[in-house]
Structure 1
């Protein structure tokens, strides 16, 4: 299973850096990735990054169009380790929770759930409404893991990159990908 690819979804929530860093770390580790960015992610990208769409797609092994419902990742017969959505907007969360998928991000997540593979959603929103919380409960009951990228202050982060690396590293731990891109509790900060 360790040689199977991971699907990386990037949606329109603030926090594009989480998806970009996920792709960088997985690329550097030699892990195949299938990227799908929602249309709203392109808008967020323009606000939060100097990277072009092409720059981000170049970090992935394969990039899919958000409306390409016929892509390999839309089928359960295409084997993957699972999917991480980084960041995960509340719209995407709602799509996954209801099973009413209108994009490849939602369809790929739905496939991951139905195949009982790992789905990690780096949900980005605050404060949360009851609707958000109910959608989180629904996807959790279906097998997903809600992983808000909450900074760990015990690491004494010095930069935004430190905060991003810690959250991404902890999320990848959930796929049994244990890399030394961030300090761990009880370990020296000198990695």
Structure 2
């Protein structure tokens, strides 16, 4: 599904080097399918993780990566833009850019640390710094076990700054039958927080409400 470019919702999305590449890739796929415009940033470590955890071999340059992912997920013209790690003229690099939410999925503990301390050594860190200072939606999806005191303190600090921490900890009450179901559990929560319609997972209580309206309860 491709929406009118004039009314597209823009989402800034970053992949970093934590395990859990499937979460970020599935989120990208769903955002594009929903007609969103996505500004994508991929760290070098994320490229290594994606090559390790999936069958995808992303090209190294942003233009080639953009073409590859757009073709893979059927993105419309200008719907997906991939930016390099030091592209300081990318929209996410400035508060004067489009006020779009940022999701870092997965979010490495190194990125957590950089964001918690205000580092801006690459575009992903700068985009997170911009989201915090501009009071924009910032969603971080860490995937680590166990968390050290440093990790927990950084997450608490970022939460107090206004970020939302959504650990990659899928639930089981929907009785998942596959790894894809577990991935979709987290991606559905992310889409809900972004205000993007999703049908991956029914919201809690929806089935009961539907039964009540249908006179089955």
Give TM-score scaled by structure 2 length.
0.81
Q: Deviations over 1:6-60 (max 9, x none)?
A: 1000000000011101110010000000000111101111111111223446556
Structure 1: 4+ residue segments shifted above 2 A: 54-60, 183-188
Where do residues 69-148 of structure 1 align in structure 2 (5 Å cutoff)?
69-148=88-167
Report the CA distance shift for 1:179/1:103 in structure 2 as closer, same or farther (over 3 A).
same
Distance 2:195 2:99 in 1: 13
Distance 2:47 2:140 in 1: 19
| Map of 1:184 onto structure 2 | 203
Q: Deviations over 1:140-179 (max 9, x none)?
A: 1111001002111001011111111110110121122231
Distance 2:69 2:180 in 1: 17
Distance 1:80 1:173 in 2: 18
**Secondary structure, in 3 states, of the residue corresponding to 1:85?**
strand
**Secondary structure, in 3 states, of the residue corresponding to 1:110?**
helix
Report the CA distance shift for 1:147/1:165 in structure 2 as closer, same or farther (over 3 A).
same
Report the CA distance shift for 1:178/1:4 in structure 2 as closer, same or farther (over 3 A).
closer
Distance 1:36 1:183 in 2: 30
Give TM-score scaled by structure 1 length.
0.92
**Secondary structure, in 3 states, of the residue corresponding to 2:82?**
strand
1:28 aligns with 2:47: no
Report the CA distance shift for 1:115/1:4 in structure 2 as closer, same or farther (over 3 A).
farther
1:61 aligns with 2:80: yes
Which one of 183, 193, 211 corresponds to residue 164 of structure 1?
Answer: 183
Query: Over aligned residues, Cα RMSD in angstroms?
Result: 1.6
* Contact 1:81/1:175, CA 8 A, preserved across alignment: no
Distance 1:31 1:68 in 2: 22
Distance 1:69 1:103 in 2: 9
**Secondary structure, in 3 states, of the residue corresponding to 1:174?**
helix
Distance 1:81 1:66 in 2: 18
| Map of 2:49 onto structure 1 | 44
**Secondary structure, in 3 states, of the residue corresponding to 1:126?**
coil
Distance 1:182 1:19 in 2: 17
